[in-house]
Amino acid sequence: MLNILRYILLILVFTYSAYSQENNFCGTEIPSQQWENIFSSLINDFKKTHEQNSSQQFTEYTIPVIFHVIHSGQSVGTFPNILQAQISSQVTVLNQDYAGTGFNCNTYPVNAFIQWAINQNLPAVNRDSLGRVKIANINIKFCLAEKDTSGNTLPEPGIERINLNSRGWVNPNTFAVPADLRSYFDGTIKPQSIWDVRKYLNIWISDKNASMPFTGFSTLPPLSTLPGISGAGEGTDSTDGIWSYSSAVGSAFIFPGGVYASPNVRGRTITHEAGHYLGLRHIWADGSCLTDYCADTPPAFTSNTGFPVYPLNPGSCSSPANSPNGEMFMNYMDYSADPAKYMFTYDQAVRMQTAMLNSPYRNQLGTHGLCVAVLGINSEGNSIPEGYLLMQNYPNPFNPVTEISFSMPGTENINLRIYNSLGREIAVLLNSTIEAGYHTVNWNAAKEPSGVYYYVLSTDKISISRKMVLIK
Ligand SMILES: [Zn+2]
């Protein structure tokens, strides 16, 4: 009997391992040398102009995002047709990661890459006050598109749900080979569902085959739209954007009610893919000790996985030598587990800002009036500490009841109030001490006229506001 129990336990352990060993490899194509040469010359121009500018502030950009949720008839909330809250948590992750305040950035070792910075003679702009390679603020923000390409308000911000059967598409989970999945998206799904790439970052999310090793891929920023110049992997107006496995979307910490596959539980797949979308290369440059064209990222022998410890593999590369500080496994452009990654560098920021300024599609991106709320960033433009996030309501527009949801990192006094478009307070939904975790509150607007309303959540530390629309 004991042996049978042991046997069952073993099976359970192996089954659990099979599910928990999802990797986070990426299928983005390696840029051509021609692309890199053109991009490098644009980067040099950007650096010259930027470093002459006395404030040295990066331009702020806000990119509207549309998630095309590809499913095969599952109801909303059933994988891969994941909930709005899981998708919103991804945008929060993007905003924090691109502001340099992503989850776990406070674990950056106190002596990280100081010797590397000295050996490379890195300028002050690449370093922080301790002399470490700096965790950069890219100054690029992301917002859920509130309107479609015709100007209609979306029932769920940033989301288009598509039943693949209604389009006659093959289920993406039938492709076991990455190249086949990518070519089906590029040749069929993307061209038939893409929104204007000059106004939206298109992100397709779907199921995938269990044997398919990748959880994401992106197009590169094109540097010319002239025929013949466009190379492998560069986005076109019918392919530009990102694909991600649905269960790698969002943060299990911000929205525990979603569907996640370990270790992709912090939304770093799409942070990584958005890095490619904005011109970044892998930290190990898809070879052994090759350059990723960023002087502040040490060379790496190969990609890293799991939860490495600093310093990792010092001496693994000799020209230039990465000893004694080793490899930058905490960079979003490595393959380390989601929680182990928490930084972009200044030189990576320069590449992304250069793409936003010069790439024919990226340089058209801006809010275009398509969205207002920037999740994860408060009204002063500062990052909201992780945990207070994900304040949103569903449905929106609504009549007459909507559910407002939010999460809290700890027990706090909280105040949740509703204001009308004149700024007049019309309801107090909460004014009490609330425990850590995810909460929902309904608002019944049966007595109110149609119009725009705001809900404001405030604590001793923060205040976040959001807009909603009552249509009767
Ligand atoms: Zn990648």
Q: For the chain, which domains are there? A: 27-100+135-280+344-364 (3.40.390.10), 392-470 (2.60.40.1930)
Pairing of strands 61-71, 140-144: parallel
Distance CA 173, CA 195 (A): 23
> What separation in angstroms does the CA of 430 have from each of 323, 387, 437, 443, 466?
55, 18, 15, 11, 16
Reading the block at residue 281, the tokens are: 């290369």
What confidence tens digit (pLDDT) does each residue in 357-394 have? 999 999 999 988 898 767 766 544 555 655 565 577 77
Question: How far does the centroid of ligand 1 lie from the alpha carbon of residue 24, in Å?
Answer: 9
Question: How far does the centroid of ligand 1 lie from the alpha carbon of residue 178, in Å?
Answer: 13
What confidence tens digit (pLDDT) does each residue in 313-358 have? 999 999 999 999 999 999 999 999 999 999 999 999 999 999 999 9
Question: How far does the centroid of ligand 1 lie from the alpha carbon of residue 471, in Å?
Answer: 43
Per the CB < 8 A criterion, the answer to whether 111 and 340 are in contact is no
Question: How far does the centroid of ligand 1 lie from the alpha carbon of residue 472, in Å?
Answer: 46
Query: In angstroms, how far is CA 197 from the centroid of its own chain?
Result: 17
Reading the block at residue 146, the tokens are: 């509130």
Instruction: Please say whether the dihedral angle defined by the alpha carbons of residues 268, 129, 354 and 53, taken in this order, is positive or negative.
Output: positive
Question: How far does the centroid of ligand 1 lie from the alpha carbon of residue 136, in Å?
Answer: 19
> What separation in angstroms does the CA of 55 have from each of 190, 197, 255, 348, 354?
40, 31, 37, 19, 17
- pLDDT score recorded for residue 429: 87
Question: How far does the centroid of ligand 1 lie from the alpha carbon of residue 411, in Å?
Answer: 38
Identify the residue with better confidence: 18 or 263: 263
Question: How far does the centroid of ligand 1 lie from the alpha carbon of residue 284, in Å?
Answer: 10
Reading the block at residue 350, the tokens are: 């320069």
What confidence tens digit (pLDDT) does each residue in 171-229 have? 999 999 999 999 999 999 999 999 999 999 999 999 999 999 899 999 999 997 665 55
Identify the residue with better confidence: 106 or 67: 67
Helices (H) and strands (E) in the chain, counts: 9, 14
Distance CA 199, CA 202 (A): 9
Question: How far does the centroid of ligand 1 lie from the alpha carbon of residue 221, in Å?
Answer: 14
Per the CB < 8 A criterion, the answer to whether 139 and 122 are in contact is no
For 459: left if phi > 0, alpha if psi spans -120 to 50, otherwise beta; the answer is: beta
pLDDT at 14 over 90: no
pLDDT at 70 over 80: yes
Q: Which residue has the tokens 């986005």?
A: 235
Question: How far does the centroid of ligand 1 lie from the alpha carbon of residue 281, in Å?
Answer: 7
CB atoms within 10 A of CB 63: 24
Question: How far does the centroid of ligand 1 lie from the alpha carbon of residue 151, in Å?
Answer: 33
Question: How far does the centroid of ligand 1 lie from the alpha carbon of residue 282, in Å?
Answer: 6
Question: How far does the centroid of ligand 1 lie from the alpha carbon of residue 459, in Å?
Answer: 38
pLDDT at 29 over 80: yes
What confidence tens digit (pLDDT) does each residue in 223-250 have? 976 655 557 799 999 999 999 999 999 9
